[in-house]
């Protein structure tokens, strides 16, 4: 195995876990050590920073950087996980919701805010992942945390679907913003799509899809093999 020290930008596919990507890259690239800088939920896509070798020491630095997301939320229904990982559990009215009310909620959920992470999250509580307890129907108590939502832009032209772009600090849960968005409108909401488009200065346009990464690695190994044969 190789001890290359690299930063890899991968466009995480839908339904893959972040660890699925790590394992695929480790196996395909024959790396000794690989880690990711910031989990993406299985139903989210987008930028995943992978560090190999000694660059894994930089993971905390990358995780602390500002992040940007785009996505859609749907008003009028909820799910326990606040996305489509779980089934709908309730329906709510939406006819009373005005554009003025939506704009007010966007303002309320912008800047420095207190938010409670979703019960279906990877946060550890007493050594156990929160989602493990939530999936069993157990009560999950998570303390609120302060996060910074630096930009929150929306397009409600397809109401009750609302498209958004959010720029935020480390530790911000977009599903919590969606959950609170619905509650503040005296309704309900769930996240129907999410894509991470930037981490710090790294942009999704600079990333490789898994297929492209595999092709790049195959070409690299082929070149190395040819060079070795010529020596």
How far, CA to CA in Å, does 153 sit from each of 72, 147, 204? 11, 17, 19
Assigned token pair, 212: 């492209």
| Closest to 158 measured CA to CA, from 229, 75, 82 | 75
For helices 18-29 and 210-230, the axis angle rounded to 10 degrees is: 10
If one counts every other C-beta atom within 10 angstroms of the C-beta of residue 178, the result is: 28
Q: State the Cα–Cα distance between residues 14 and 89, nearest whole angstrom.
A: 23
Q: Name residue, tokens 């930008």.
A: 9
**β-pairing verdict for 124-125 and 128-129:** antiparallel
Q: Does the annotation mark 11 as catalytic?
A: no
How far, CA to CA in Å, does 155 sit from each of 30, 55, 92, 99, 193? 44, 39, 21, 10, 14
- Helix (H) / strand (E) element for 23: namely helix 18-29
Q: Which of 11, 41, 83, 180 is an active site residue?
A: 41
Annotated active-site positions, please?
41
């Amino acid at each position: 195995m190789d001890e290359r020290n690299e930063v890899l930008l991968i466009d995480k596919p839908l339904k893959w876990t972040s660890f699925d990507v790590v394992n695929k890259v480790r196996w395909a690239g024959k790396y000794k050590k690989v880690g990711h800088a910031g989990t993406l939920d299985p139903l989210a896509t987008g930028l995943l920073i992978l560090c190999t070798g000694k660059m894994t020491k930089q993971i905390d630095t990358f995780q602390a950087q500002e992040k940007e997301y785009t996505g859609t939320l749907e008003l009028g229904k909820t799910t326990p996980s606040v996305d489509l990982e779980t089934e709908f559990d309730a329906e709510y009215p939406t006819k009373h919701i005005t554009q003025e009310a939506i704009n007010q909620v966007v303002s309320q959920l912008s800047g420095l805010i207190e938010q409670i992470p979703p019960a279906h999250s990877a946060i550890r509580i007493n050594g156990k992942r929160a989602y493990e307890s939530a999936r069993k129907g157990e009560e999950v108590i998570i303390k609120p945390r302060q996060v910074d939502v630096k930009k929150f832009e929306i397009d409600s032209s397809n109401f009750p679907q609302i498209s958004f772009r959010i720029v935020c600090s480390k530790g911000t849960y977009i599903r919590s913003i969606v959950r609170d968005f619905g509650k503040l409108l005296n309704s309900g909401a769930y996240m129907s799509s999410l894509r991470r488009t930037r981490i710090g200065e790294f942009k999704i346009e600079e990333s490789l899809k898994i297929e492209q990464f595999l092709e790049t690695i195959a070409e690299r190994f082929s070149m190395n093999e040819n060079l070795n044969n010529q020596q």
